[in-house]
Amino acid sequence: MTLPVGVLVSGRGSNLQAILDACGQGPAGGPARVDARVVYVASNRAGVEALERAARAGVAHAAFTVQDRGSRAVAQAAMADAIVRAGARLVVHAGFDHILGPEYFVRLGDIPAINVHPALLPLFGGRGMHGARVHEAVLASGATESGATVHRVHPETVDLGEVVVQRRVPVLPDDDVETLAARVLEQEHLAIVDAIRRFVPVETPA
């Protein structure tokens, strides 16, 4: 069975694009590399590139902003309701930058949620550890490797869920935040698709 997927975004949406491409919903079309389909894209910010990517792919999408909805809890509950209504059986947080509260998870019910993080969790994760800060911390630590982690998401936690997929990259002596982030991002795009594949139901012959 093709897995219907909802995606949460906040900005650029390159991970969303990797998912769309792998599902055969990218500009080049072609056969899907994973038996999944993006059925809804929700953003906590309006006017972001990720929503344009959803529009180009013909995927239903909307922004659920705190300004419009009055609070994070209300915005997140509405986001979850839209994802459920769209029929998603997995939610992927792909560059989503708010911590999700209990209302969101109550509305999602039994739909699992996964997130992609640009480091080898549990190293370099947790509150405040996002974007360039992650790579700055990796470089400052003198670590010789970093990578991408896809993990389960649970209420009010940051980067603590069970690891689903991890891909490693070397940290090179002349790396700066930009070069390291670019190397890790390539692996995020592979890891997120690999992780989705693991949630595709296995069909067993009757």
Beta carbon of residue 45, minimum distance to ligand GRF (angstroms, whole number): 11
Selected from 36, 38, 57, 116, the binder of ligand GRF by CB under 6 A is 116
| Residue 23 tokens, joined | 């599902």
Q: Work out whether 188 is an interface residue with ligand GRF (CB under 6 A).
A: yes
**Interaction pattern, residues 146-175, with ligand GRF; x per rule: CB under 6 A:** ------------------------------
49 and 12 Cβ atoms separated by less than 8 Å: yes
Please count the other Cβ atoms lying within 10 Å of the Cβ belonging to residue 52.
12
Q: Which residues are catalytic?
A: 117
Q: How far apart are CA 79 and CA 161, in angstroms?
A: 21
Give the neighbor-by-neighbor strand order of the sheet with 36-43: 61-63, 36-43, 3-9, 90-93, 113-117, 145-152, 163-170
Q: Which span (19-27, 34-42, 113-121, 167-175) binds ligand GRF, by CB under 6 A?
A: 113-121
Beta carbon of residue 179, minimum distance to ligand GRF (angstroms, whole number): 14
**Interaction pattern, residues 42-71, with ligand GRF; x per rule: CB under 6 A:** --------x---------------------
Report the residue number, 27 or 110, with the smaller CB distance to ligand GRF. 27
Q: Work out whether 117 is an interface residue with ligand GRF (CB under 6 A).
A: yes
Q: Work out whether 15 is an interface residue with ligand GRF (CB under 6 A).
A: yes
Strands 145-152 and 113-117: antiparallel
174 exposure class (CB count in 10 Å sphere: 0-12, 13-18, 19+): exposed
Q: How far apart are CA 112 and CA 104, in angstroms?
A: 12
Query: Residues in the site for ligand GRF, rule: CB under 6 A?
Result: 11-15, 50, 94-95, 116-118, 130-131, 185, 188
